[in-house]
Structure 1
Amino acid sequence: MSDSDGKKTLGLRGAPARPGNVKQSFSHGRTKNVVVETKRKRVVVPKPGGQKQTGPGAGPVGDPSRRPAGITDSEMERRLKAVQAAKAREAEEAAAREAEEKARAEERERRRAEIDAKEREDREREESLKAKAEEEERAKREAEAAARAAAAPAAEQPAQSRAVPNKPAPASTPRKTERDREETNKKNRLADDRRSGKLTVNQALRGGEGGRQRSMAQMKRKQDRARQKAMGGTVEREKIVRNVNLPPAIVVSELAVRMAEKIGAVVKALMNNGMMVTQNQTIDADTAELIIEEFGHNVVRVSDADVEDVIKLEEDDESDLKPRPPVITIMGHVDHGKTSLLDAIRKAKVTEGEAGGITQHIGAYQITTDSGQLLSFLDTPGHAAFTSMRSRGAQVTDIVILVVAADDAVMPQTIEAIAHAKAAKVPMIVAINKIDKPAADPDRVRAALLQHEVIVEKMSGDVQDVEVSAITGQGLDDLLEAIALQAEILELKANPDRAAVGAVIEAQLDVGRGPVATVLVQNGTLRTGDIFVVGEQYGKVRALIDDKGNRVKEAGPSVPVEVLGLNGTPEAGDVLNVTETEAQAREIAEYRANAAKDKRAAAGAATTLEQLMANAKADEDVSELPILVKADVQGSAEAIVQAMEKIGNDEVRVRVLHSGVGAITETDVGLAEASNAPIMGFNVRANASARNTANQKGVEIRYYSIIYDLVNDVKAAASGLLSNEIKETFIGYATIKEVFKVTGVGKVAGCLVTEGVARRSAGVRLLRDNVVIHEGTLKTLKRFKDEVPEVQSGQECGMAFENYDDVRPDDVIEIFTREEVTRTLT
């Protein structure tokens, strides 16, 4: 293509062109101008009512040759409309964005203008205030100068000054003006300090704006110091002399707090006395006493045990005492029907919830009789492993119901329950249960109780006895009547209007609720929000739950409740005391924990070197089975540990490496792996991480819900450590008649089997004058010339010993067999 001038041009065909110049750049700075043509793009608009074309040759409307195949006019129209709508949307969005940008720019301009106006106003206000202050200061100086000039004596005035009345007063000297200006600035600063010291409502509401705000008391003290300083007085704080409680050892920071002195001042005083210490170090009482006296305070020597003085029990006045419900403990042998009897009384299914139908924990319940009397029951387990739990039950109870099965009479745990009741000096009521059974013989039970110094009323004694049946309900009313009579005789009273005192019946670590303790309130009233200390733990009552699972606000005397809000799991049997402050409770708990730790350390250090060596020699011959025990509640853990201590003999014993409450954790698995010990879980399970770790490291975890099974399995495992017993059985005797020498064999004894049988595979002993001179095995046993396995009594045979030839006539050969017998622990 070329233009009218004949020059070559670049362009497109089929559309009107517009000429233009393009500058091309090459290497070495060379350039070249090229004339190009730009053409407009043709826009195809379909004609209205255009003829519809079909077939492979159909094209866009208006240009049949360029329309794609298979596109109709309507489809083309739809596509064009879509393109136009998209362009319209793009235009609208662009307009919206432009409007938004414009609005933002206007907003920024408006804010900038507001800020500038505010800054201008602030500057104008400051300038006006400054000008006003300068004007006031100038007026004040002029007034003072006029006053001084007027006060001057008339004799000192020169004659010419009186002759010119309109002449102004002489200005003050530059030194005086400068001094006046300094005094004025000082007064203004004092006024500003007084104004800035006031805590306004806005400052209080702003809170942390501008940093830490000073309190009203601090502002007042600052104002008082400024006022005293302005009046020319010395600013000295009045010294407050305090009585400082000084234990045998104290931390430096705690000493400073008790004296209400700065920690830095106390550390400096110690350094002046030659002790280079920090605030976290502990000093002895003598050094602390010197520092206290140096600061002018009084020393009050106390011991660590004095922290428990805040919970000393005081005697209640008779006028404050009110009747309380009796606490009844049900005791007896296992499977004699204790829980079933309580179940019949409270008309609830308790036994169904216990594994194996036996009671594993101490249950605390409260019921109301038909006569309206309130009774608190403690149901203790009857198994021998729960002796300690039964002992705790007897310590907090008022009345013991001794349950004895009429068809089984007095059993070992029955005797233990009698001993506990007598040790606690608690009155007993004998409930002869299972009276409905055909084999029931209540008189036999009464006679058996006589052997243990329990004389019932039917035997002319003072112990009440009632025949009952937990199945049919027979005698239950008589039993409740006996309890009411015994409670009336005891005249049980307590003061509900004092700080609560209670005993922990059971404690456990509950997932989701944390440490939970079942507490029987003995005196006072325990309320939600009370701060308490129990054993080595403390806490604040977060919730109280009664035996029916309902939340209660308070619990009075003889009421069993579950307490939530402890910082750790206490020991069952610990005493709960309510304190005034959390600091007191924490201090008491820490003192008890430290005392228990020192006691354990002292017990370990009390062993002498000779005792340690003797124990080491004894342990060489003793095989140990290490185990870890985790239980759901503290009482069960204690009972299992006590049962493990009873397993074993002089050769084998069970060693409990660790026992605790709660789920089996990864830490337990690590300890078990290091000690090659199994983990016994009683009513608890391992968490996911502990299970995975146990599978990886090959640690065995066993789960139990009945203590019988756990004890039997451990006993069987410990029995596997016992060496097998070798048992000998004599099967025959033979007497040597003659001794022959046989080539290639040696000496052969011609014998007569006098008793039993002689066997080739059995062991033999050679007796000479009833003394054993050789023990071994037979090399050969022949009958005539044939080798035989055995020879019966009364027959002759030839015997040769293995590696022994010293045989003589009339010697006796003892034939015996050996077998290994597996031993078990009883």
Structure 2
Amino acid sequence: MKILIRWLYRAAFLLYDFSIMTNNETKNLIQRPPIVVVMGHVDHGKTQLLDYIRKTSVVEKEAGGITQHIGAYEITHKERKITFLDTPGHEAFSKIRARGAHVADIAVLVVAADEGVKPQTIEALGHIKKSELPFIVAINKIDKPNANPEKVKKELADNGVLLESWGGQISSVELSAKEGTKVEELLDLIGLLADVADLKADPNSDGRGVVIEARRDPRRGPTASLVVLDGTVKVGDYIAASSISGRVKALEDFLGKPVGSATFSSPALVIGLEDTPDVGAEFITSKEPITAAIKMAKQLGDFIEKTLEPEVKPNYVYAIVKGDVQSSVEALTDSLNKIKLENGAVKVLKSEAGDVNESDLKQALTTRAVVVAFNVKIDSAAQNMIRSLVASGSGHTINIVEGKIIYELLDSFKEKAEARLKPRATREELGRLDILAIFRQEKNRQVIGGKVAQGKAVKNTRVEVMRKDMVLGEGRITNLQQEKKDVSEVLEGKECGMVFEPGEPKIAAGDMLIFFKKLV
């Protein structure tokens, strides 16, 4: 479904591009800097390598001023620019790394000299080969006493990667990201591959590229990190990414400095979109509004989504996912959907960047969803709602798992989900009664009247109070009368009066009582 809708948006973009191309003159193509993605197994030194390159290639006072993470940064090596994608390393982020590979021109596959080829190494190779990316192998951690580069080369050969030193065509460098040994040689190789690829773009054309990060800033609203692949994005341009559109109000470079424009291969933060776009979404810009194609694709997408709505399955544990940035949200959602439960399945109802708010909690309360909060806060209105629920003594609770480590969040969610799906005492429904009138409400009891809509109303049984689709609480019917006579039960279609204990929750006309008995 999502793939189909994504292609509708892409088709709309292509139609829009075609209409522009027919009016444009021949492109003024010039050389553009390469975009590089660093990939490999967790703990093999990707982050350390990126950190070393950033610290040694960005002016020191500027590097110290980086206050935000926009998913990419730009360096200058021997008077030529190189853009590095700063993608997460944990296996839960494979989806984002795959998207990163599609954005990049060149990949660097990092393999630790002391550990060799690991599962994520093979996974990264798959992304690289699928994207047909030229790549370099960086054999890292050669400073380790148990480093064995030759073993790494053999394991790579066993997986179809033959390095130049073994008679193949893939360049490699043995380096130490910790000490900086031969990192400059790696940057030289990247420059060489970029020359061979002959990367070109037109600085005068409308901007186009890919969203690599997105988040909702409490002060500035939706923001998106972009990598420009062609053309130039300027403040004041109209912009669209999938179904999200807007106008560029402000641009910042990777250092957080305001800029008037961003051209090809540059990472930039854009402010002005009406909502947070999906990570991996393609974007286009124009000096004219980009609305017709987007609206057409959205209408088609909405129609297909409603027409092909999947069948609802039982035994779901619902989740509402909130995260600091869109890439974290997507990765967490992807991981939750992969969790295997013995007696059911996980269904993510909502996933978005931003703090947990009152709307999230209301949805969680009515659907019994678990709120999964990654590196975000619970806003003041939501905290007040939680305090009110506790103070009411209604027994209603909202399950929230929060933290800054994805492994722990997933473990906590699975624990709650398994507990919820465990076989436990069930109940037999006896009947349903519509509340027609409230005669008296006291501290410990309520005198009410209603009509049996289904089954029967039975004295001295437990009842559940329902308002629309929300369970307000439970109580017991201690007295039942029909035509002013005490009775033990009232059948379907008949009206009756009754005493409900306790005095909470407060019942109202239009509510429903469900009569039931528990079964062990």
Query: Would you say same fold, with TM above 0.5?
Result: yes
Q: Within 2, Cα distance between the matches of 1:665 and 1:688?
A: 8
Q: Is 1:672 aligned to residue 378 of structure 2?
A: no
User: Contact 1:310/1:579 (CA < 8 Å) preserved in 2?
Assistant: no
Aligned counterpart for 2:17 among listed residues 308, 311, 322: 311
Q: Within 1, Cα distance between the matches of 2:25 and 2:282?
A: 22
SS state at 1:720 partner: helix
SS state at 2:185 partner: helix
Q: Which stretches in structure 2 are left out of the alignment for 5+ residues?
A: 1-10, 59-67, 390-396, 424-520
Q: Is 1:329 aligned to residue 28 of structure 2?
A: no
Q: Within 1, Cα distance between the matches of 2:405 and 2:74?
A: 26
Q: What letter corresponds to residue 216 of structure 2 in structure 1?
A: L
Q: Is 1:463 aligned to residue 153 of structure 2?
A: no
User: Contact 2:16/2:293 (CA < 8 Å) preserved in 1?
Assistant: no
Superposition pairs of residues 460-499 of structure 1, within 5 angstroms: 460-499=167-206
1:595-637 residue CA offsets vs partner (Å, 9 max, x unmatched): 2212211221xx6xxxx6xx76xx3xxx433221111222111
1:177-233 residue CA offsets vs partner (Å, 9 max, x unmatched): xxxxxxxxxxxxxxxxxxxxxxxxxxxxxxxxxxxxxxxxxxxxxxxxxxxxxxxxx
Aligned counterpart for 1:717 among listed residues 416, 437, 445: 416
Alpha-carbon offset, residue 721 of structure 1: 4.5
Q: Within 1, Cα distance between the matches of 2:12 and 2:225?
A: 28
User: Contact 1:502/1:520 (CA < 8 Å) preserved in 2?
Assistant: yes
User: Contact 2:57/2:76 (CA < 8 Å) preserved in 1?
Assistant: no
Q: Which stretches in structure 1 are left out of the alignment for 5+ residues?
A: 1-304, 351-359, 725-826
Q: Is 1:599 aligned to residue 291 of structure 2?
A: no
**CA 307–712 in structure 1, closer or farther in 2 if over 3 Å, else same:** closer
**CA 592–684 in structure 1, closer or farther in 2 if over 3 Å, else same:** farther
Aligned counterpart for 2:138 among listed residues 427, 431, 437: 431
User: Contact 2:15/2:293 (CA < 8 Å) preserved in 1?
Assistant: no
Alpha-carbon offset, residue 538 of structure 1: 1.1
**CA 349–661 in structure 1, closer or farther in 2 if over 3 Å, else same:** farther
Q: Within 2, Cα distance between the matches of 1:418 and 1:599?
A: 35
Q: Within 1, Cα distance between the matches of 2:410 and 2:69?
A: 17
User: Contact 1:361/1:380 (CA < 8 Å) preserved in 2?
Assistant: no
Q: Within 2, Cα distance between the matches of 1:379 and 1:308?
A: 29
Alpha-carbon offset, residue 347 of structure 1: 0.7
**CA 675–310 in structure 1, closer or farther in 2 if over 3 Å, else same:** closer
1:97-149 residue CA offsets vs partner (Å, 9 max, x unmatched): xxxxxxxxxxxxxxxxxxxxxxxxxxxxxxxxxxxxxxxxxxxxxxxxxxxxx
**Residue 513 of structure 1 aligns with which residue?**
220
Alpha-carbon offset, residue 349 of structure 1: 12
SS state at 1:408 partner: coil
Superposition pairs of residues 684-699 of structure 1, within 5 angstroms: 684-697=376-389, 698-699=397-398
Aligned counterpart for 2:85 among listed residues 364, 378, 384: 378
Alpha-carbon offset, residue 341 of structure 1: 0.1
Q: What letter corresponds to residue 381 of structure 1 in structure 2?
A: P
Q: Is 1:661 aligned to residue 353 of structure 2?
A: yes
> Whose RCO is larger (CA < 8 A, sep 6+)?
2
**Residue 118 of structure 2 aligns with which residue?**
411
Q: Within 2, Cα distance between the matches of 1:515 and 1:432?
A: 39
TM-score, scaled to structure 1: 0.46
Alpha-carbon offset, residue 412 of structure 1: 1.3
**Residue 639 of structure 1 aligns with which residue?**
331
User: Contact 1:435/1:468 (CA < 8 Å) preserved in 2?
Assistant: yes
**Larger radius of gyration, structure 1 or 2?**
1
SS state at 2:291 partner: helix
**Residue 111 of structure 1 aligns with which residue?**
none
Q: Is 1:367 aligned to residue 75 of structure 2?
A: yes
Alpha-carbon offset, residue 722 of structure 1: 6.0
**Residue 581 of structure 1 aligns with which residue?**
288
Aligned counterpart for 2:242 among listed residues 530, 535, 559: 535
1:269-302 residue CA offsets vs partner (Å, 9 max, x unmatched): xxxxxxxxxxxxxxxxxxxxxxxxxxxxxxxxxx
The structure in which a higher percent of residues are helix is: 1
Q: Is 1:706 aligned to residue 405 of structure 2?
A: yes
Alpha-carbon offset, residue 361 of structure 1: 8.0
Q: Within 2, Cα distance between the matches of 1:645 and 1:467?
A: 39
SS state at 1:320 partner: coil
1:140-174 residue CA offsets vs partner (Å, 9 max, x unmatched): xxxxxxxxxxxxxxxxxxxxxxxxxxxxxxxxxxx
Q: Within 2, Cα distance between the matches of 1:624 and 1:684?
A: 25
Alpha-carbon offset, residue 410 of structure 1: 1.2
User: Contact 1:326/1:399 (CA < 8 Å) preserved in 2?
Assistant: yes
SS state at 2:115 partner: coil
**Residue 513 of structure 2 aligns with which residue?**
none
Q: Within 2, Cα distance between the matches of 1:510 and 1:630?
A: 13
SS state at 1:496 partner: coil
Q: Within 2, Cα distance between the matches of 1:398 and 1:703?
A: 37
C-alpha root-mean-square deviation of aligned residues, in Å? 2.4
User: Contact 2:70/2:269 (CA < 8 Å) preserved in 1?
Assistant: no
Q: What letter corresponds to residue 664 of structure 1 in structure 2?
A: V
SS state at 1:572 partner: coil
Q: Within 2, Cα distance between the matches of 1:533 and 1:576?
A: 5
Aligned counterpart for 1:391 among listed residues 89, 93, 98: 98
User: Contact 1:311/1:579 (CA < 8 Å) preserved in 2?
Assistant: no
Task: Give aligned-pair identity as a percent.
Answer: 39
**CA 512–598 in structure 1, closer or farther in 2 if over 3 Å, else same:** same
Q: Within 1, Cα distance between the matches of 2:189 and 2:75?
A: 16
SS state at 1:489 partner: helix
**CA 718–573 in structure 1, closer or farther in 2 if over 3 Å, else same:** same
Q: Within 2, Cα distance between the matches of 1:723 and 1:439?
A: 48
**Residue 789 of structure 1 aligns with which residue?**
none
**CA 664–649 in structure 1, closer or farther in 2 if over 3 Å, else same:** closer
User: Contact 1:547/1:561 (CA < 8 Å) preserved in 2?
Assistant: yes
**Residue 70 of structure 1 aligns with which residue?**
none
SS state at 1:425 partner: coil
Q: Within 2, Cα distance between the matches of 1:705 and 1:520?
A: 27
Alpha-carbon offset, residue 453 of structure 1: 1.1
1:68-94 residue CA offsets vs partner (Å, 9 max, x unmatched): xxxxxxxxxxxxxxxxxxxxxxxxxxx
User: Contact 1:361/1:636 (CA < 8 Å) preserved in 2?
Assistant: no
1:245-291 residue CA offsets vs partner (Å, 9 max, x unmatched): xxxxxxxxxxxxxxxxxxxxxxxxxxxxxxxxxxxxxxxxxxxxxxx
SS state at 1:710 partner: helix
Q: Within 1, Cα distance between the matches of 2:168 and 2:306?
A: 50
Q: What letter corresponds to residue 675 of structure 1 in structure 2?
A: T
Q: Is 1:339 aligned to residue 31 of structure 2?
A: no
**CA 581–344 in structure 1, closer or farther in 2 if over 3 Å, else same:** same
**Residue 481 of structure 2 aligns with which residue?**
none
Q: Within 2, Cα distance between the matches of 1:318 and 1:455?
A: 41
1:734-766 residue CA offsets vs partner (Å, 9 max, x unmatched): xxxxxxxxxxxxxxxxxxxxxxxxxxxxxxxxx
**CA 348–700 in structure 1, closer or farther in 2 if over 3 Å, else same:** farther
**CA 720–361 in structure 1, closer or farther in 2 if over 3 Å, else same:** farther
TM-score, scaled to structure 2: 0.72
Give the number of equivalent residue pairs.
395
The structure in which a higher percent of residues are strand is: 2
Alpha-carbon offset, residue 723 of structure 1: 4.9
Q: Within 2, Cα distance between the matches of 1:458 and 1:631?
A: 45
User: Contact 1:331/1:379 (CA < 8 Å) preserved in 2?
Assistant: no
Q: Is 1:500 aligned to residue 195 of structure 2?
A: no
Q: What letter corresponds to residue 418 of structure 2 in structure 1?
A: S
Aligned counterpart for 2:270 among listed residues 563, 566, 570: 563
Alpha-carbon offset, residue 654 of structure 1: 2.3
